[in-house]
Structure 1
Amino acid sequence: MRTIRKLVHREVIGAVSFVTFGFLALFFFFDLVDELRWVNRSPTPGNDISLAVLSVALRIPSHLYELLPITVLIGTIFVMARLAQSSEFTIMRTSGLGPGRALRALLTLGLGFVLVTFAVGDYLAPLSDKAAQLIKARAQGRLSTGATGAWLKERQGDRSYAVNVRAIIADGSMQGVRVFEFDDQGRMAAQIHATSARFVDDGWMLLEARRSVFASQDSPNAHITQEESAQLLWPTTITSDMVAAAVLKPDRMATIDLFQYISHLKDNGQSAQRYEIEFWRKVFYPLSCLVMVVLALPFAYLHFRSGSIAGYVFGGVMAGISFFLLNNLFGFAGNLQNWSPWLTAAAPGIIYSLASLAAFGWLVLRR
């Protein structure tokens, strides 16, 4: 059995690696074409193409994380169908490879793919994506989430603060910072406008800041006091990671960073539904590799001796794409309908697990 298990593992790993390389090359080409739009905008002449290629190359781990369950399904289906077509799997069955042993052999291999997917998605992809964002910011001069920038909220005692960051500059500092201070009754007590800001140990150092204080709002002597400072220290617990989390997409964050950011949002009375769904997706998504190898196993029990296996591989591609689409659909629907985050993230995997076990039971145990 050990020899058969090594043979199956070697064939599946080779097929998955080949399919993954093909998909990554395709995504690299598409991303490179898309990145050519900001070529010649770099402040360093002559480095435009190299920066674009490096930025696209750093996105490969993110694509690898997204594609691994799909490529595992396609590669495993190809191997199982080819073994069935050449009658090699029939010989393995006569040698003692029963359905239980075959399932255990694939689940052992699937656990390896689970660990690889988790390591890439939780460690390699977030680091490489942050590096790609910094390179893009260096080429464009800034990194922003759109016209309004990123919004954050913090509570300090009986005061609450709404913070707006227009963009993040390549050196890690912030540009176009606005701080709105509210009292315990929800009225605006002060606001600060700063051209830029940088992170220091005690909070943020606001540069070229203008502070407006709204005093005595309930009396006839209400007035506004304005102060201008070249440097103004604003004490805050909002860190650079929290600002980056507000700027970057939640699916590009590590699991621990998502958990800390969710805690920050809840402590400040903000909705964390979107980030909670993404947190549980990060937990359950690597387990999709186990679902995919189980879904591919019934293809080894199909009875055919001649013909092409392209149709089965195409079916695997469609199944992988449908899983990806269903995963995104449940994420958007769960966010809109306020579904339970963990159930929203686990539902696609549960549906495909039941489908794969049903197919396995019908083809293997009944037939």
Structure 2
Amino acid sequence: MKTIRRLIYREVLTSIALVVLGFLALFFFFDLVDELQYLGKNNGLVGESTYQIKHALLYVALLIPNHLYELLPISVLIGSIFVMARLAQSSEYTILRTSGLGPWRALKLLLWLGAFFVALSFVVGDYISPVSERAAQLLKARYQSKITIGQTGAWLKEKQAGRSFIVNVSELSPEGEMHGVRIYEFNSTGLIVSTTEAPKAAFSSGTAWLLSNVTRTEFAVSASANGASANAAPQQARVSRSAVASFRWPTEISTEMVSVALLRPDRMATIDLFNYIRHLEANGQTSQRYEIEFWRKVFYPLSCLVMVMLALPFAYLHFRSGSITGYVFAGVMIGISFFLLNNVFGYIGNLRNWQPWLAAATPGLIYMGISMGAFGWLVLRR
């Protein structure tokens, strides 16, 4: 049995590696062609600030881990189908069956192989891809001068001891500094108390922001708002402005939270998404989109198990000469359909306000049902 396991694992791993290399080379070429339009551009400076071909190659290379994470389940499916179909076509799998490789034992072998790719997908998606994606965005921002979304940037909210704050960050520089920071402070009744604006801010010791060249506006609360009698003369609203060189604002909004708000949530680590979801819920903000992305990060690596289950029935089909190509093409279509369905259910779940875990797990459950049905019909009944 050890010889059979070694044979199948060697063939499947080799096939999956070739498929992965082919996909990554294709995406590397497409990304590089897309980056050619930015060559020679800079952020208004000269010298090293010019975007050159070496920078484009480095940027495209930093995108490879994210492509690997997205393409790994499809590659596992295509590589496994190719090996299973080739073994069936050459009658090698029939010999393996007569040597004691029953359906459940074969399924167990492939599931162990799928578990390896589940672990690999989790490591790449949760540790390597977020780091490389952030490095790629910072590299690109060095020549575009900023990381931002839309015209207004990112908006965050926080509650502190009876006060609430709404924070707007326009841009995030390559050095990790925030630009165009505006902080709106409200009291417990929802009245605005102060506004703080700063062209630049930095994270200080993880529990505060250090703002530079601050313009602070404070609004005095009128007598009627404080519960004065109706016969008392109403006071004029007082507005005081002050400018300070630096201002320290205590906050629990961390670097990762700002990065999640400014970057795509599907490119962040699972723990960063979880902390950001808790922050949104604690401040009464909707977290549906980020919860769906969180559960997708949890369930997506498990799709590698589903893919090897889908590949096993191909070993029990009867092939004619040259017909293996059609089955490999069917595997490609199945993988693409899973990728599309996984994205579509994320958008539908967000629009229909589904349970986040259900929206993320439904594509995998559908394809698991298909694989179990194919396994029962082609493997057990025939």
Same fold judged by TM-score > 0.5? yes
Q: How does 1:129-148 map to 2 (within 5 A)?
A: 129-148=133-152
Shift of 1:95: 1.2
Match of 2:70 in 1: 66
Shift of 1:137: 1.1
Match of 1:119 in 2: 123
Q: Does 2:289 align with 1:274? A: yes
User: Number of aligned pairs?
Assistant: 367
Q: Does 2:236 align with 1:232? A: no
Aligned-partner Cα distance in 1 for 2:315–2:145: 54
Match of 1:341 in 2: 356
Match of 1:308 in 2: 323
Task: State which drifts further: 185-194 or 282-291.
Answer: 185-194
Task: State which drifts further: 215-224 or 165-174.
Answer: 215-224
Q: Does 2:192 align with 1:188? A: yes
Aligned-partner Cα distance in 2 for 1:153–1:37: 37
Shift of 1:35: 2.0
SS at match of 2:179: strand
Aligned-partner Cα distance in 2 for 1:226–1:39: 45
Q: Is the 8 A contact 2:214 2:247 kept in 1?
A: yes
SS at match of 2:374: helix
Aligned-partner Cα distance in 1 for 2:135–2:153: 20
Shift of 1:322: 0.5
Query: One-letter code of the match for 1:204?
Result: W
Q: Does 2:294 align with 1:294? A: no
Shift of 1:45: 4.8
Query: One-letter code of the match for 1:317?
Result: V
Match of 1:215 in 2: 220
Q: Is the 8 A contact 2:216 2:242 kept in 1?
A: yes
Q: Does 2:112 align with 1:108? A: yes
Aligned-partner Cα distance in 2 for 1:246–1:348: 26
Q: Does 2:218 align with 1:203? A: no
Aligned-partner Cα distance in 2 for 1:36–1:139: 14
Match of 2:156 in 1: 152
Aligned-partner Cα distance in 2 for 1:364–1:281: 31
Aligned-partner Cα distance in 2 for 1:161–1:265: 13
Query: One-letter code of the match for 1:41?
Result: K
Q: How does 1:350-365 map to 2 (within 5 A)?
A: 350-365=365-380
Q: Is the 8 A contact 1:181 1:189 kept in 2?
A: yes
Shift of 1:47: 5.3
**Cα 1:31–1:152, aligned 2, differ >3 Å: closer, same or farther?**
same
Structure 2 length as normaliser, TM-score?
0.94
Aligned-partner Cα distance in 2 for 1:181–1:46: 41
Query: One-letter code of the match for 2:288?
Result: Q
Query: One-letter code of the match for 1:280?
Result: W
Q: Is the 8 A contact 1:78 1:313 kept in 2?
A: yes
Aligned-partner Cα distance in 1 for 2:218–2:157: 19
Give the percent of matched residue pairs that are identical in Structure 1 and Structure 2: 61
Query: One-letter code of the match for 1:116?
Result: L
Query: One-letter code of the match for 1:223?
Result: R
Q: Does 2:321 align with 1:317? A: no
Counterpart among 91, 103, 110 of residue 99 in structure 1: 103
Q: Does 2:170 align with 1:166? A: yes
Detail structure 1 runs of 4+ shifted over 6 Å in the superposition.
none
Q: Is the 8 A contact 1:51 1:139 kept in 2?
A: no
Query: One-letter code of the match for 1:138?
Result: R
Task: State which drifts further: 40-49 or 105-114.
Answer: 40-49
Match of 1:11 in 2: 11
Q: Per-residue CA shift, 1:144-183, capped at 9, x if unaligned?
A: 1121101111101111100000000111101111111111
Aligned-partner Cα distance in 1 for 2:188–2:51: 52
Aligned-partner Cα distance in 1 for 2:111–2:88: 19
Larger Rg: 2
Shift of 1:273: 1.0
Q: Per-residue CA shift, 1:7-27, capped at 9, x if unaligned?
A: 111111001000011111111
> Over the residues paired in the alignment, what is the CA RMSD in angstroms?
1.2
Query: One-letter code of the match for 2:68?
Result: L
SS at match of 1:143: coil
Task: State which drifts further: 305-314 or 272-281.
Answer: 305-314
Query: One-letter code of the match for 1:333?
Result: I
SS at match of 1:181: strand
Aligned-partner Cα distance in 2 for 1:37–1:263: 40
Gaps of 5+ in 2: 226-233
Match of 1:27 in 2: 27
Q: Does 2:55 align with 1:57? A: no
Match of 1:251 in 2: 266
Q: Is the 8 A contact 1:48 1:139 kept in 2?
A: no
Q: Per-residue CA shift, 1:58-112, capped at 9, x if unaligned?
A: 1100010000000000000011111111111111111111111111111111111
**Cα 1:46–1:238, aligned 2, differ >3 Å: closer, same or farther?**
closer
Match of 1:263 in 2: 278
